[in-house]
Amino acid sequence: MCPPTHFYTNEFTWIYQVITNTYGVPGYKEANPALFTSITFPFLFGVMFGDIGHGAIILMVGVFLCLIEGTLR
């Protein structure tokens, strides 16, 4: 039996760790695929979605939510 696996995350990387854990948690001493997910997911989502205008709107809403994050709590 392998020891438990724990990955330290921050505000940026926790969601990619959640996406990775959906498909399976890496074992002890295995590479964490959440790093690769955080790099490739935005690009693959853009290819899948394929609409620059809608992507720009989503980006603006995301930046706005990040800017007012402190007032939402």
pLDDT in tens, 4-60: 777 888 888 888 888 888 888 877 788 888 888 888 887 787 777 667 777 788 889
Higher pLDDT, 19 or 73: 19
pLDDT at position 1 over 70 = no
Cα 45 to Cα 20: distance, rounded to the nearest angstrom:
15
pLDDT at position 2 over 80 = no
Q: What angle do CA 68, 55, 44 make, to 5 degrees?
A: 115
